[in-house]
Structure 1
Amino acid sequence: MSRLTLLAALLLAACGAGPADLPQGAYRPKGGQVYSSAVFDAARLPGRWQQVGAFGPEGGCKPGGVDIKPGGKAAFRLCLGGRDIRGAGQLQPVGPGRFAIAGQEWWVLWADGDYRTLVIGTPSGAFGFVLNRGGGISSDRLTAAREILEWNGYDLSQFRPM
């Protein structure tokens, strides 16, 4: 293989990189039951979402957020496992309430009735986080988000509001 071909292959592989940047946490048991929202309406996603909760150690990074454009193009900076994780791409549906983006799977575990709050998780338990529109989250929606995470097997002792 020529050096130019090898360089092109390495650059192409780097463009799709993403999962290697994820923190490897045990926030829920692997193989345990986890459910995504079967009635989730992706058309209600566009807008700016602020991160208001996540799993991992205190400090290390500030809360992030996700910007979603109509049509599903998204860019994010999130604090996951105490580290800043950045990415962008198309939210590709992979099932009801399930998306792939930047080499990751995001499952919508819950959205409140007005789509002000989203709880995102993953079957692997590598991360989980809560997003909210318009800044801070009300105590009742944060309580509901925590209950959904716990119901899906997440260890709430490692959850921290932001």
Structure 2
Amino acid sequence: MIRLVAALSLMLATTPAIADSYRDTAVPMQVDTGLDLNRYSGLWYEIARFPNRFEKNCFAVTAEYALREDGKISVVNTCRTGAVDGPVKQAEGVAIVAEPGKLEVGFAPGSSVLPFLRGDYWVLDVTPDYSVAVVGTPAGRTGWILARSPQISDAALSEAMQVLSDNGYDVTELRAVPQMER
């Protein structure tokens, strides 16, 4: 087991960046330290995202979060491949709270116990009614605008994009995600 962990650590440390960074990492990120995980739990529609390899060719993406009895959070990401009505693909993962507003999410086997298999998932902002959320990562290789409904108003989208911009993201790289009712 120790050899496996060492080999994986070396591989991850020497692997080049998987995606471009969409944010100026010199800009400090501000997270929602008052995040209420009970209110955050439930179904979210992906309204917009920065391109990334694991969501390539994904449409009608949703994420569903549920608190577990062990204090961790179950994560089920669903996408339709190829088109809004295409075949469904799901990924199940586990999140832990690293700090208020800062989660670490893993989808690989063992990620709930091996920290190097988890990725940052920082909740930058949630509207007071928990209808829109903005999520990013310190490295800036991913970021999302999520909502409780498949569409949001132009004003809500603009406010969410401003949160990303204030956190150093280049919002010109943000892409809308075609959605459908679930």
What is the TM-score of this pair, normalised by structure 2? 0.68
In structure 2, the partner of 1:64 is 61
Deviation, structure 1 residue 156: 1.1
Matching of residues 8-23 of structure 1 within 5 Å = 23=18
Amino acid at match of 1:62: F
Q: Which of 70, 88, 93 is the equivalent residue of 2:92?
A: 88
Matching of residues 108-119 of structure 1 within 5 Å = 108-119=123-134
Where structure 1 has 5 or more consecutive residues not aligned to the other structure, the ranges are 80-84
CA distance in 2, matches of 1:135, 1:108: 19
Q: Which of 137, 153, 172 is the equivalent residue of 1:122?
A: 137
1:49–1:23 Cα change, 3 Å: farther
In structure 2, the partner of 1:75 is 76
Q: Which of 99, 102, 109 is the equivalent residue of 1:98?
A: 102
CA contact (8 A) 1:118 1:132 kept: yes
CA contact (8 A) 2:78 2:91 kept: yes
Where structure 2 has 5 or more consecutive residues not aligned to the other structure, the ranges are 81-88, 107-117, 178-182
Amino acid at match of 2:62: G
131-140 or 113-122: which moved more? 131-140
In structure 1, the partner of 2:41 is 46
| Aligned residues with identical type, % of pairs | 24
CA contact (8 A) 1:51 1:132 kept: yes
In structure 2, the partner of 1:82 is none
Deviation, structure 1 residue 99: 0.4
CA contact (8 A) 1:31 1:124 kept: no
Moved over 3 A (4+): none
CA distance in 2, matches of 1:151, 1:78: 28
In structure 2, the partner of 1:156 is 171
CA distance in 2, matches of 1:87, 1:25: 23
1:61–1:23 Cα change, 3 Å: farther
CA contact (8 A) 1:88 1:101 kept: no
Q: Which of 27, 50, 64 is the equivalent residue of 1:55?
A: 50
Amino acid at match of 1:136: Q
CA distance in 2, matches of 1:137, 1:145: 10
